[in-house]
Structure 1
């Protein structure tokens, strides 16, 4: 094993804390939509640095940066042209180092996105592959196949719509499970494996604390035999031997990465974005593999007590099985914001009827959401769900803007949309632009303080009332709620366990942490009376809604401090 690396000590960061990630509050930043320092309409690295005081005041433990690498933005930066650099529109490596130092100085660790399933079609490797032709070593870094006459090798469909194969000028076809501009890499190729190890070391040596692995379940593929049809592919069990997803041999890659991570002090962390059956999650979260995996089930759950309890119970069991901690996610850059999800009508579903797919809330977007949205109810439920989640053992991943209670931006003209899912589906899937609209920092201005000119995605007028400036000094604002919750979270945390307390109502959940802190969430609409021992006023440490003495209002959460 390589000799251990140690980065220079940074103020506010404990280099001896190897378990910081287990119950961390991690704030996801989508760089192009966070803050724009050079006023070109696109967020950038210096913009993030300028907002470090805000992040420190919020009380998070780490930030996760979505891709900031050179990219043609065919897929919001997830089409990477250079894994060891910064997109010139977002800054420089020196800007990155300045941002990293500022975050570390404020006790905030940094996790960066790694996109290993595919590159951009502008990546030098892919350009070499196109030029070198069939059978070349350069082409072997990707997945090229001969077609069937003038047709592609199979009828496989891209996750963004349309064929998963694109024809090169010489007649061969290359595989792209996402956009045409995102050719899949061949992870059986030694060059590919070695180059990603170099990338992991490059960022780790700069002081990055961890990595979020994009579509971690899709890297390795076995296309050695006759290729199945799409229908046959869909019917195959996903038990480790599927030709294209969630293969057991992907963990050979991650074992090599784990050796790299463990060569640093403290070990670098990793979290897998793995859309797999829950029984397979421990493979990604084990200490021998990536160490942690996203639990996406609350992204797809309704505001429903039975669904929430089932998701929490099962995922804590999975975390224990893998010796990891679980993760809780209510919003991210791929799904409708939860303040909007909870304010929309939805089909009745049981606790066991949650879908599992990469973009699991696309049903919400069909035809737009604004006419049916109950904004007040959605926000009330979102605040309650957020407090419920922040009280749980495990890591909490927060998406930029959820601390402001932002809703999805539904009203975007077709000509202003950017997400390839919208265009590849001919507008049937509205895409993810609505959750990626740049943040509002001030109550007015051309981009509500995001920059000094209009933002790259249009911001609605109501953003002013939801801005940081509008909420900063409001004791009842969602921003204040998040700040108070994140400050109290460190007191609430203890061993990674909880005990369910029966409430006598199916729509009310009550759990207690080992140190005596209690969380009660009323998913129903009628008040829930606390027990006599809980009604002392000083026991209520925090509430998502105005709380009558001794009661939890409908669609609300309270935190109860032990006596």
Structure 2
């Protein structure tokens, strides 16, 4: 694990949406210097408590960014290389690492190499990048999940290995600190195992994590050589358990998470650019705090999707443009945000601050202290360090809190530390993060 990630809190941004670019332009977009608008939000990210910035696609593409046309060129809807360099400098001056979204499973049908293959046939150099069938007329191309505009690369070809390694190294040379490997689950792990050592040979401190939704997370990490994968299993369990008031589902997922921590440190989240916003997903808005408390007290590299810290709402739909609601434009500057999101922002600051004051939580495992209908107490521990987290999804009650001496954070929570075992009194929908240390 690269060293800087051990203390990382990630703020994730989908740039094309964030800056209000036209996601589906009818013709090639003219150059527009929108990327520098992100610079005006870097102090906000630092104020939130972030130490890294994860940017969605920023390379020239046909529409939403995941249909790349040129991996070596900044999307003109965002700006140019000078704008990128300015953003990297500004982030670095604030101590923020920057990671980019690498779309290496597929490209746009408009990619010059694919167009070259269509025009010149199988002898064209660009044809070597794709899985094409030349039975008759225009070749039949493999596509990503049935999307005809997304043409899959041939990951068994050395030309594709060379391309992906060159792209990753190029932008690491330009100052980024890592890569998110988009749709990595669709790419053979053996491909990453060949490419990533070439990248690490030049940039050994780069953080390389993969988008993997289902399956054997630990097995993928071992076979591919990535540092981490996206922990969708825990994401689903958190919001589902809160909605169903089923703490057994959460306890099961945290136990599974413990097993992953034996092999690697997962990339954890309660929201991202591909899913319905947490504030829209949860049936009880108080669950936002509970979800964040869980995220910040279990092992992993946690990320916050821009806007979730303001309780933005948005529902992802399975249709063309169905992502737009969860990828909105932001104001030019943070000062223009509605004051309605401030309480949720302050709670994020508080819990991110708690996380950063306890850096051992990066590798912390959990164990059950109390598990009953709608009520859950678990301990986060690593070595001699420990905290206790109490969740009450039912009516007000007292829950056991053995060895705890103070409340570090919480809502509607009161610790009782008189004679006998310590207990924590929680109201309905309340939570607490407890410490064995005496209050200061």
Q: In 1, Cα distance between the equivalents of 2:404 and 2:301?
A: 30
Deviations 1:411-430 (A, max 9, x none): xxxxxxxx8x514xxxxxx8
SS in 1 for 2:109: coil
Distance 2:327 2:85 in 1: 25
Q: In the alignment, does 2:101 pair up with 1:113?
A: yes
**Structure 2 partner of 1:478:** 344
Partner of 2:369: 502
Q: Which residue of 2 aligns with 1:174?
A: 141
- Correspondent of 2:397 among 528, 532, 542: 528
Superposition deviation, residue 206 in structure 1: 0.9
Structure 1 residue corresponding to 2:231, chosen from 272, 283, 295 = 295
Query: TM (normalized to structure 1)?
Result: 0.67
1:56 and 2:24 correspond: no
Aligned counterpart in structure 1 of residue 220 of structure 2, from 284, 287, 303: 284
2:8 paired residue among 24, 28, 31: 24
Corresponding residue of 1:206: 174
Please list, as runs of the form range in 1=range in 2, the aligned pairs for 1:35-184 lying within 5 A after superposition.
35=19, 44-73=34-63, 76-134=64-122, 136-146=124-134, 170-178=137-145, 179-184=147-152
The residue correspondences of 1:484-495 to structure 2 (distance < 5 A) are 484-494=350-360
Match of 2:287 among 378, 381, 384: 381
Query: In structure 2, how many angstroms separate the alpha carbons of the residues matched to 1:298 and 1:531?
Result: 25
- Alignment correspondent of 1:457: none
1:436-475 to 2 correspondences below 5 Å: 436-439=327-330, 449=336, 467=337, 469-472=339-342
User: For 1:119, what is the secondary structure of its paired residue?
Assistant: strand
2:379 aligned with 1:391: no
Alignment check: 8 A CA contact 1:272 1:292 kept: yes
Looking at secondary structure, tell me which structure has more helix per residue: 2
1:387 to partner: Cα distance: 1.1
How much is the aligned-residue C-alpha RMSD, in angstroms? 2.9
SS of residue matched to 1:82? strand
Q: CA deviation at 1:68?
A: 1.0
Aligned residues: 410
- Note closer, same or farther for the CA distance 1:388–1:199 as it changes in structure 2 (3 Å cut): same
> Are 2:260 and 1:318 aligned?
yes
Write 1 or 2 for the structure with the bigger share of strand. 2
Report 1:312-461 matches (<5 A).
312-320=254-262, 322=263, 324-343=264-283, 377=284, 379-408=285-314, 421-423=318-320, 431-439=322-330, 449=336
* Partner SS, residue 540 of structure 1: strand
Check conservation: 1:119, 1:185, Cα contact below 8 A.
Answer: yes
Q: For 1:532 and 1:300, how far apart are their aligned partners in 2?
A: 27
Question: In structure 2, what is the Cα distance between the partners aligned to 1:391 and 1:271?
Answer: 21
Counterpart secondary structure, 1:437: coil
Say whether the 8 Å CA contact 1:212–1:273 is kept in structure 2: yes
The structural deviation recorded for 1:51 is 0.7
Residues 393 and 497 in structure 1, CA contact (< 8 A), matched pair in contact too: yes
Could you tell me whether the CA contact under 8 Å between 1:100 and 1:110 is conserved in 2? yes
Counterparts of 1:533 and 1:306, CA distance in 2: 21
Unaligned runs of 5+ in 2: 23-29, 416-423
Q: CA deviation at 1:200?
A: 0.9
Deviation of residue 101 (structure 1)? 1.5
Which stretch of the first structure deviates more once superposed, 433-442 or 49-58?
Answer: 433-442
TM-aligned CA deviation for residue 329 of structure 1: 1.9
- TM-score w.r.t. length of structure 2: 0.85
